[in-house]
Amino acid sequence: MQYEKLTLAGVMACCLVLLAGCGSSTGGSAIHSTPAPTAELPATGSQPHWTPLARPATRLHRPLGLIKTARWPKESVFSPDGRYVIATPIGDIRSLLQIWRLADMKLIHEITVPGSTDITGAVEGVFTHDGSEFWFSRMTTAEIYVISMKDFSLKKRIPTGGVWSKVIEFSPDGSLALVSNWLSNDLSLIDTRTYALMRRIPTWTKAPRGIAWTPDNRFVYVISFDSGEIIKLERPSFRVIKRHTTGGANDRLRIDRAGKYLYIDNMVQSCVYVWEVASDRIVHTIPVGINPNNVRLNHDESRLYVVCRGPNNPQSYLLPSPKNGEVMVFDVKNKYKLLDRFEGGNQSVGLDLSRDGRLLVFSNLQDSSLHLYRVLDD
């Protein structure tokens, strides 16, 4: 498929429409399979981009600092071993990926596009199950970039065949990857061993976004933004066998390790749906703040984290929001009782927790920053 070259202004406008509805090189050590305990981070000011975060502590979370990023960080992700944090700047002219080492908060690697005149368009990212590779999507070129975490080299650029590629999720055994393509309304199926595009899968919905494989590898769930649907596909055919219309704009979803529940944020409805896999229905609706943009379960799945982008600017969605975003935390074991709620930055979008459960990071689009927090014992 041929792609029309987008102008800088055109890409910026289109990117922000999605966001309104919506992670020279240096070497590094290999990732170990067992996560190391997260040490205390260095004092703010030890690096020029690592500054104090003027936020009060809550009962469950203490601010550690702010990382200044390239323009409009979309995804924010911890490496599985807890040694690095990664950002994918969707709106930068030059930068595609930034990696910081938590031990000294040094920016140790950055992928750039020399001579670029359009925004780079990096969007979502995810680690392979063994942590040896980081895959991220570049929506403006419909490619997946594969980064080796041994030396941060670029191993592969995989054309998806779709248009505006977004979320990536791996099959339970890690042999396959699915990519949602926002504008071509389909999925790209990739062989992770050969990095080859195997086929494109129609979804028959508008703007497919989040993806979740069931742990038994029998089904895949896809949610759509423009159509407001939850779609179930059977494996291995990837035939659509169920549709459920929620309305609104479904954005991201997560599945628990047992494969019992999906957690789906809906930006228009300002809620998170709890979907029971066994009965294929919504069993709980959690009211949240304005424009929820991401959800995560913590390490022991006792807490559900939701990051809300905040209200749109009434003059233009291209401008900073009149109010900052926020992070909300719910008790999974106690009927989703609200445990904590605190202010984020301007348009908080990306969200992750370290595997040992001790660190929280979220990205703030309009501030071009990441906020890092210590997760405290209850």
Evaluate if pTM is beyond 0.85. yes
Q: How far is CA 304 from CA 87, 107, 177, 224, 369, in A?
A: 22, 30, 25, 21, 23
Can you tell me the distance from the alpha carbon of 122 to that of 366, in angstroms, rounded to the nearest whole number? 15
Residue 314 lies in a domain: yes
Q: Find the domain containing 294 and state its range.
A: 8-375
Helix, strand, or coil here: 16?
helix
Can you tell me the distance from the alpha carbon of 36 to that of 34, in angstroms, rounded to the nearest whole number? 6
**pLDDT for the residue 45:** 86
How confident is the model over 211-234, as a mean pLDDT?
A: 98
Answer whether residue 141 shows pLDDT above 70: yes
The DSSP code sequence of 216-268 is TSSEEEEEESSS-EEEEEETTTTEEEEEEE--S-EEEEEE-TTS-EEEEEETT
How confident is the model over 48-70, as a mean pLDDT?
A: 96
Q: Which residues contact 4 (CB under 8 A, 6 or more apart)?
A: none
Instruction: Tell me 128's DSSP state.
Output: -
Answer whether residue 5 shows pLDDT above 70: no
Averaged pLDDT score across all residues of the chain: 90
Which H or E run contains 18? helix 8-20
pLDDT band at 146 (very low <50, low <70, confident <90, very high): very high
- State how many domains the chain has: 1
Angle 206-207-211 from CA coordinates, rounded to 5°:
115
How confident is the model over 134-163, as a mean pLDDT?
A: 97
* pLDDT tens track for 308-363: 999 999 998 778 999 999 999 999 999 999 999 999 999 999 999 999 999 999 99
Residue 274 lies in a domain: yes
Domain containing residue 125: CATH number: 2.130.10.10
Lowest mean pLDDT among 15-24, 141-150, 287-296, 355-364: 15-24
Residue 30 lies in a domain: yes
Lowest mean pLDDT among 38-42, 113-117, 225-229: 38-42
Residue 61 lies in a domain: yes
Express as a percent the part of the chain with pLDDT over 70.
90
**pLDDT for the residue 4:** 34
Answer whether residue 234 shows pLDDT above 50: yes
Is residue 213 a contact partner of residue 9, using CB atoms and an 8 Å limit?
no
**pLDDT for the residue 117:** 86
**pLDDT for the residue 278:** 98
Answer whether residue 7 shows pLDDT above 80: no
* pLDDT tens track for 71-109: 999 999 999 999 999 999 999 999 999 999 999 999 999
* pLDDT tens track for 22-52: 433 333 322 223 344 455 789 998 899 999 9
Q: Which residues contact 316 (CB under 8 A, 6 or more apart)?
A: none
**pLDDT for the residue 325:** 98
Which H or E run contains 11? helix 8-20
Residue 1 lies in a domain: no
